[in-house]
Structure 1
Amino acid sequence: MNSIAEQLNEVRKQISAAASAAQREASDITLIAVSKTKPIAAIQDAYAAGQRHFGENYVQEAVDKASELKQFDDIVWHFIGPLQSNKTAAVAETADWVHSVDREKIARRLAQQRPASKPPLNVLIQVNIDAEDTKSGVAPSAVGELASFIAKQPELRLRGLMAIPAAGANSAMRKTSFQAMQGLFSQLQSQYPSVDTLSMGMSDDLDLAILYGATMVRIGTAIFGARAR
């Protein structure tokens, strides 16, 4: 089995090749190492290999890891999972980014609970681009209204959009989803100067996501191996 450092290097090479194929700069794409369910030692190995952006899906796990690794003050923590309103305080106090804001109530609570000692919380709107009944996210038609609310909160900074295409979607279906997200992102960029981030693409579709404008890719399995749960 390759080490985490070796696997990280392979993912970085893949990002670079995908960026080149899309006539983009690899430096414009941020790699988020999705460390959910992985032990602290795995994160430390990735950190030693130069990784700084880490993504967590579960609130308590994110809080515990951030606390245990607080000596590494240049780690950037991304909360990427579904967020319930009764858990917003912990995320507002811990995370640097939240990718999964999908309703005004969540945005309001994050704003109210963001510590004054911290900079504005970077926020992405999660879009349910394939209209899945079981997936979080706003409909594309609702992005504008939620973006307007977030942009008015001084404790938050609207940075862009996030999406996860339907599980099991083939390449053609994902292409359609990513194209639609690229269009939504361009529209939002034209309205808000702070918008610069399109979070989409995982281990099995990062090339396609980069082709359609992803500026953040969320990679877990290709770096850390299969999840424990």
Structure 2
Amino acid sequence: MSSIQQNIEQITSQISNAQQKCGRVQESVQLLAVSKTKPNQAILDAALAGQIQFGENYVQEGVDKVSYFSEHHSNLALEWHFIGPIQSNKTRPVAEHFDWVHTVDRAKIAQRLSDQRPSQLPPLQVLIQVNTSGESSKSGIEEHQVFELAALICTLPNLTLRGLMSIPADVPDYASQLHAFKQLAELKQSLSERHPELNLDTLSMGMSGDMEAAIEAGSTMVRIGTAIFGARDYASKA
């Protein structure tokens, strides 16, 4: 058994235990393997261990990986999520290659993703990124801006709004983590009440250090990278 497979099994067990601890239905939380900076072989090892969903932060690196697996391992039917910030001049490759985008945070990006989505592909599944902590260094819109952006996305033919995403402040104590995640869960509930016609079923929140709090608050997708693939080398991104 590879170390990546062992890591996936361990994290899957942690997710299951967290769900059980807070009374959540088993398998209601999906594992998104964050594979940025990792080689194709590491992704293949994870895929052969049963992992299907992968998250990428860098556009060109992600596009290269999507293309590689589409050409060489199409039988794996991997699902690719873009989870990094998007510049307006990089929307086309994202729209053309990815299945999901977690980081829609302004009207211009949403409009361009819809306009540039190839007609032969299904609508792009998108999440609105919310800056729940108010940190200037974090991407995402303020909570009161969510409703206007959601209303716009609902009018775009090649996007399907699925929910919200956030990266809250890095705090060590469980209570503070839980409070931040509950903010996003409550916001999604308000958005669902305003748009009952939408299937807003996704809350992308929680990483290795705050996964349990995120699951208790209602996360449906946790983003885990280093705990699966090991430490990253960012030298190539400098």
Partner of 1:72: 74
Matched to 1:40, the amino acid is: N
Matched to 1:72, the amino acid is: S
Q: Greater shift after overlay, 152-161 or 65-74? A: 65-74
How far off is 1:168 after superposition? Answer: 4.4
**Cα distance per residue 1:40-95 (max 9 Å; x no partner):** 00000000000000000000011000011113351000000000000000000011
Matched to 2:202, the amino acid is: T
How far off is 1:25 after superposition? Answer: 1.7
Partner of 2:189: 186
1:211 aligns with 2:213: no
Match for residue 230 of structure 2 among 215, 225, 228: 225
CA distance in 1 between partners of 2:126 and 2:231 (Å):
28
How far off is 1:170 after superposition? Answer: 3.7
Partner of 1:5: 5
The answer to whether the Cα contact below 8 Å between 1:120 and 1:154 also exists between their aligned partners in 2 is: yes
Secondary structure, in 3 states, of the residue corresponding to 1:18?
Answer: helix
Matched to 2:55, the amino acid is: G
CA distance in 1 between partners of 2:137 and 2:18 (Å):
31
How far off is 1:134 after superposition? Answer: 1.1
1:111 aligns with 2:114: yes
Query: Once superposed, what is the RMSD of the aligned Cα atoms?
Result: 1.3
Partner of 1:133: 136
Secondary structure, in 3 states, of the residue corresponding to 1:69?
Answer: helix
Q: TM-score scaled by structure 1?
A: 0.97
CA distance in 2 between partners of 1:137 and 1:169 (Å):
22
Partner of 1:52: 52
CA distance in 2 between partners of 1:134 and 1:200 (Å):
18
CA distance in 1 between partners of 2:211 and 2:176 (Å):
14
How far off is 1:173 after superposition? Answer: 2.4
CA distance in 2 between partners of 1:197 and 1:168 (Å):
23
CA distance in 2 between partners of 1:72 and 1:185 (Å):
34
1:201 aligns with 2:203: no
CA distance in 1 between partners of 2:84 and 2:165 (Å):
11
Partner of 1:23: 23
Partner of 1:157: 160
Secondary structure, in 3 states, of the residue corresponding to 2:134?
Answer: coil
The answer to whether the Cα contact below 8 Å between 2:134 and 2:142 also exists between their aligned partners in 1 is: yes
Matched to 1:199, the amino acid is: S
Secondary structure, in 3 states, of the residue corresponding to 1:119?
Answer: coil
Matched to 2:115, the amino acid is: Q
The answer to whether the Cα contact below 8 Å between 1:189 and 1:196 also exists between their aligned partners in 2 is: no
How far off is 1:7 after superposition? Answer: 0.3
Matched to 1:214, the amino acid is: S
Q: TM-score scaled by structure 2?
A: 0.93
Matched to 2:59, the amino acid is: V
Match for residue 87 of structure 1 among 69, 90, 111: 90
Uncovered stretches (5+) of structure 1, i.e. residues with no partner: none
CA distance in 2 between partners of 1:57 and 1:169 (Å):
24
Secondary structure, in 3 states, of the residue corresponding to 1:55?
Answer: strand
Uncovered stretches (5+) of structure 2, i.e. residues with no partner: none
CA distance in 1 between partners of 2:30 and 2:74 (Å):
19
> Percent identity of the aligned residues?
53
